[in-house]
Chain A
Amino acid sequence: MKTARQARLTADFQTIPTRSLVLILMPTLAIIALFLASYGSFILMSFREMLPGTTTVTGNWSLASYRRFFRDAVYPYFLFQTLYRAVQVTLLGLLLAYPLAYFVARSSSKLLRQLVMTAMIIPLLVGGITIVYSWLVLLGNAGLLNAGLKALGIIKQPIRFLFSWKGVIICLVYFVIPYAAFSLIGPIRNVPRTLEEAAVNMGASKLTVFLRVVLPLTLPGIVEAASLTYSLALSAFLFPMMLGGGKVKMMSNIIYETIYVTFDFPFAGTMATILLVVSIAVVVVMTLLQRTARRVRSD
């Protein structure tokens, strides 16, 4: 009798009673409702009509904002620029994050591992204002980087980093490295050392072992890190706003300007909807790629 009761309890344990479940998920569902309501309201706003030459939104439905986005070549161009620069940031970010992650995953010195991790965590938590301000001063025409390059005799004239893509990309790459590195550490750790040992014992060079063993085995992890990095770069707002100085802009900056300069809420809503669709599409594509990478790995 007692064992029957215990068996029931054990089975029960896995499932929380529906009433309690509803109760503990209540706040979560409320948040999700708020979240869907807010996204719904701006998507609806994007289909509203704007009274020409005014800042008045009428009650009528219209596709005018979408037509305007695709007719005027400048907006698709900004979208393309954003997508393209995010690719650059992702590639550079992964290139610099991989060695860091490999070091943390494989170094035998606890002290060095902790040092590298601390160097990764501080930029992750310190906030965008600190990062953007520092690069704003470092990258100036008379800033530390230009002064250093000049002192080394590499350049004669200062390189114009600010108010150009160079500065924006440097800052964005800096920002994404910790995220990419953190998500790569796990996958690199999971590569069995015995495989590497076997390859070395059979006469492969270190580079060959890396290219033929470690890299393919961490491919799903790389795709995951790329997905995160690309989402972060696509969302960039503060860095292009401050370091681009109005000369170079990404989608988020155009959306912000549309709201605060022309007060055209339907058009801002349209661009935000397009950016939303693109960001979700990117995540879906990356998830599919990750699946393919897993399959390639297991073959």
Chain B
Amino acid sequence: MISKAAPRLAREPGAVGWPLGLITALIVAFLAVPVLFVIFYSFNKSAYFRLPPQGLSLRWYANFFRLHYFREGALISLALAAVVTPLSVAIGVAASYGLVRGRFKAATLINALLMSPIIIPGVVTGIALMTMFNLLGSGWSFGNLVIAMTLVCLPFTVRTISANLHGLNHFTEEAAINLGASRWTTFRRVVLPQIRPGIVGGMIFVFATVLEDVSVVIFLTSYRTSTLSIAALGYLRNKDDPTIAAMATMLVALTIGLVFIIQRVIGLEKFMTLE
């Protein structure tokens, strides 16, 4: 361990002192409390919050899996994520490569238009898509949801992959072309492996967004094709018991899985700079 052998700088300016450490700890606690609480609450035996807790139980998990709209909602959300994630990555890779490497005048405009769903309120996008699907007469179908979520999620993949591409030097690509590789081979064998962090980072954002979106999807679903979030919202409006806590705990577990993937494939620090 070289770092331990290295002499420690006493009072390094700009280093973190205890007041900042304490403030950070409090804010981290603020961020962590709701997540930890929901896990604890999902195992609560009674239907209401009471101190001290009344004992442990898995009944809310059983209730979640017993109700058909949660099962169907979860299936629809996962199917949607399974279609939208690869679609956003494929379109996102093509768009980023074209916009970053192909230097043409309209690139800035196309990029701005592509990014706009990020700043436009979800409800506005939801109404826009609903009005258009109504005009086109395309009913309330899974296809509408795929189109809507691809439109909403594309900015994430384009942003993370473009950031990644901007950071690459093009000497390796140039070398491959000079050595006789075709443009396609160069892309596949040289560029693609290098933009893997951007792709994985974008995929994670897309996957999480598809699972969680409410404000766009709420305008495009009926009771028959309802995603998990919309099913949960419907349940929350009528009932007040920890079934949603059980669902939330499973989502937290899934998110921890995603954080683990980020850590292994890209590293948290690198992921942060992609955002």
Task: List residues of chain A with CB under 8 Å of any chain B CB.
Answer: 6, 9-10, 12-16, 20-21, 24-25, 27-29, 31-32, 34-39, 41-42, 45, 96, 99-100, 102-104, 106-108, 113-131, 133-138, 140, 142-144, 147, 174, 177-178, 182-183, 185-186, 191, 193, 196-197, 199-200, 206, 209, 214, 231, 234-235, 237-238, 242, 251-252, 255-256, 259, 265, 268-269, 272, 275-276, 279-280, 283
Contacts and interface: CB of A to CB of B under 8 A. Distances in A.
Interface string B65-103: 000000000000000000000000011001101110111
Interface in B97-131: 97-99, 101-104, 110, 113-114, 116-125, 127-129, 131
A140 B20 contact: no
A13 B131 contact: no
A286 to B, nearest CB: 10
Contact of A116 (B24, B41, B123): B24
12 contacts: A13-B170, A25-B99, A35-B151, A117-B268, A119-B28, A121-B268, A125-B204, A126-B208, A127-B251, A129-B233, A133-B248, A137-B49
B15 A129 contact: no
Contact of A256 (B91, B123, B177, B268): B123
A120 B31 contact: yes
Nearest to B48: A142
Given A24-B97, A104-B272, A133-B244, 9 more contacts: A34-B147, A35-B151, A106-B16, A126-B248, A127-B211, A127-B251, A129-B247, A199-B13, A259-B127
Contact of B14 (A31, A32, A99, A196): A196
Nearest to A255: B123
A157 B241 CA distance: 25
A183 to B, nearest CB: 7
Contacts of B30: 96, 174, 177
Contacts of B99: 25
Interface string B141-160: 00000010011001000000
Interface of B: 13-17, 20-21, 23-24, 27-28, 30-35, 37-38, 41, 48-51, 90-91, 94-95, 97-99, 101-104, 110, 113-114, 116-125, 127-129, 131-132, 135, 147, 150-151, 154, 170, 173-174, 177-178, 183, 204-205, 208, 211-212, 214-215, 218-219, 229, 232-233, 236, 244-245, 247-248, 251-252, 255-256, 258-259, 262-263, 268-269, 271-273, 275
Contact of A34 (B14, B151, B245): B151
A276 B128 CA distance: 11
A143 B255 CA distance: 26
A44 to B, nearest CB: 8
Contacts of A99: 20, 23-24, 27
A143 B15 contact: no
Contact of B123 (A45, A231, A272): A272
A38 B214 contact: no
A107 B37 contact: no
A119 B121 contact: no
